[in-house]
Structure 1
């Protein structure tokens, strides 16, 4: 049962009584008496005496009312009872596996239960639990959620090797106190799990079976121990054991036997069983179990039975093998970790792994069984999961009868997954940087090609022998430019032109294209929800997202070999509905969503997690680049949205895109549709200083601007442009590349603005606009991405001049 209602009751006091009401009642009686006396004075002494008496009485009544009000406020303040924090502590009490903390509005810890004290002896405030900036940011977000919605959550935080989840709820009369609940993450820390095992009910059960257990740090100090060990080693069940060296309690006899120091003359020999929690780390904690060695080798079988009973109780994957490498015992956790069917018992450890790892496992078991009592681990692949690496820990066991080797399996699934994610992120970053660098040079080349095509098309008309060839060159250049944008898309560096739009309008723009792509055998159904909120995104990029998803859906249906259907649906999702979804990824807010559903082959679960990775494809060589879904992912994420995939093999796949609803600050009329411009509208006048280090781009841009009526001065770099300005040239517009050797565009602009503060600026670059705007802090500038056509350059020059 949750303790939140009780805590809220404890922090919320009953409304105080209002002594001010008594004061008002007294004043009312005083006025009634005054009216009676005033009437008698009027009759006896006349109007003057009555009026004087009434005036004095008004002053007295005012004073009484003021004093009564002050007294009432004081009584009201005193009537607020102080919170009984001792009662709160008793209420939150011992909760199994949960540390509970109550903080006041200033963040000070007012109450905490015993588990909190045990896990965090330095009593940090909850805000001090994270040890990194990312954890602190998640904590702050959880507090904001709690202040807004009454509840916040952090899925995983780490502190000093301890991983935990955290929830925070508001409580109190004014909902200004916070109740924090901290729970250990499952399997997050073996040492913490072992300490909980020893100090909890399981430790008591071990003691009843005659087994003493303790957790040792890498330095040999006791981290935790069960009560039986404390009683035998320290003389009392509550003896202070934690933090002390194990050697202080143990004595080594000349014959090699181990005894307790305090039982040196009367106690028997002891047998120690060590279970290293991480054999690959010499400083990792070790779980130690101590048994009374009363019968020596004669009782080996009995001791072995005790050990097997002990290992069966532990939540760690443990097994015993003899000197020949045959399994003697496997606990349930080991069988589950190895992926064994229920009731199956392999003969050798090598039976668990793939053929390539059998020899290494057999050699390791033989070496540890016949050598010194050492431990180590090897990386293997299990037959049940051949694509994943797991750690098989092996330690030599002594004094356990036939058992010579202790084996432990560590499931590296999460670790491997994190490594893959880090490798994927690194690859994405490297590819993004590579794409950005290539895009700059590649776009310069494409700008020259497209520009020269445009200039030639001005001299050729349809029907000329060269017209079709020029158009073909221009079309292929545009395809190359589209490929560059696609490379930038999955690295989230493409230039977006966001607009406020409605998803149904975007779908209607590409509807006919989608029908042609699907063909005659695949149906297309489109349904739109009601009250859809507007979103802000690049319509061209959204069209690319829709086309890519529909093409993938078509390929999945064709692979199934049957006629099928692709369904596009739009719907709205309110913040309340998002909150009920309880998603760890989707923030609470209003969304407009679009789903693309097919009836194709579906995606297997092992592939579903990889579909958004760049260059990952299941299609045949030459039929897929692996950029389609990664491009979709990049565009959606850069637009501030989220995309999820759901699939069932043989049934089909559903992609859902959530875009946040755009809420404009002020309502504005939609922009009027532009008429298709005539060439004459692009003509202009004035002097333009063109700065470009690439000769071919500079030549094309100069000819394009000159053909549209401008006087053009050119410079190959920033220093040459400054010389032109210093010579006194009157410039109406500065058009400059951003990235140039020696002096870049922004530096040139800053120098130019010192001389001409209102000079219009048009930047052109092959890099992504979003990346450049983060580094360019200059105001009142326009941006033209490369590659551009002659018409686009003329339009950009006209619009930049018109904006001043």
Structure 2
């Protein structure tokens, strides 16, 4: 058989036809790698318009960009096992054909000498599919990496097989550090007990299991995570894998705590308003009656003094020979004066009434402060007296610090009104005062017999007003200073604190465009300072009050 591929060369005709029509490229090379025969497919790829017979393999293939470095044909002639090589053949209209070449040594094809069978397969479709697959994998990886939620995949043995970027960022452990390791061996600070229970339940039931409030404690910080364990099917007989999806829900917990705190404050406010109202009415009666008694007693004293003067005058007239008081009447009057101790009553009753009125005024001030704190207020900022807000906070919290500390106030009387939400700022001051009082409980007051000092100051600083609350407690240890404003952080024993007071204060001050910070000296106490802008954002002065 003859043709573009050369004569059949003694090869059986039927085999020659098969050799020529197979879709893969076939080429028989001599011992010196000269082309003896090339089928139609191979010639179409490498020998368009020319007869390749008798030409060097290097000449034919190199013309299409095949490199002769590490030549598979030479390797076959050297007796090495079938080797494979990929090459790219440029196409006339642009683009390329991708071929996979392999060779094997053929005995006795070149005048009794061994030659080489060169086999070429067009893998362009496969290459395109591989490119698409790689691109799809890159797209998937990019998508998974861009997801803001944690994604952790575990195999049936609990080893990590996927650890996305969000997991690395939120948990402080790179994928390189996590992949291949058992999840529970990783130091990510999670409370493992509920996580382990969720994974076991997921594998046991084959259903997704959600668990909230997974605590994470790392580097002195505490965060909260919500996780869902999802089953991943595995080959029969193997333990199923698990896909863990999760996110940091600390912000949600903070907002929930703030909402809960606000609801509690509203409830307490309504209760306080009711109590204040109930107290205010009788206090007004008592105050009015005390004023009436004060005036009436003064009138009675004047009347008694007039009677005494008249009695003395009648007695003097009687001694001179005029009308005399009956001895019995004189004795009755003198006994009554002695028994009543009129001189004592004349001094002590006005003093008692004055003290009563002072106490009534104090109760009235407490009632007014309670009503101010319980007033829901609006959500529109207004200009208010910062000194008055601080005084009210000190007044309503007096029971918390009166047995622990003495109070020192240094309030700037010339402060301008400050723009903000009075009820929220008042709550900030109350939290700082209660925090200071509780800090002094262990080292001051009844436990030691030594009173601490609670100092409240206000001052203007440029376009801001600074309010500070200082205590003489033990101070704040170095180890926890970075956590003071963290949500739910507290050093107090159970029942003494929720860890929300200072974090809520921080959030309120931040919403007002201010700042809150502290200074502390171990063993000497701490000073918390709130600095607030005088004007509302966009306001130039305090004239536009709400």
Bigger-Rg structure (1/2): 2
TM class, shorter-chain normalised?
Answer: 0.3 to 0.5
* Bigger relative CO (Cα 8 Å, ≥ 6 apart): 2
TM-score (norm 2): 0.41
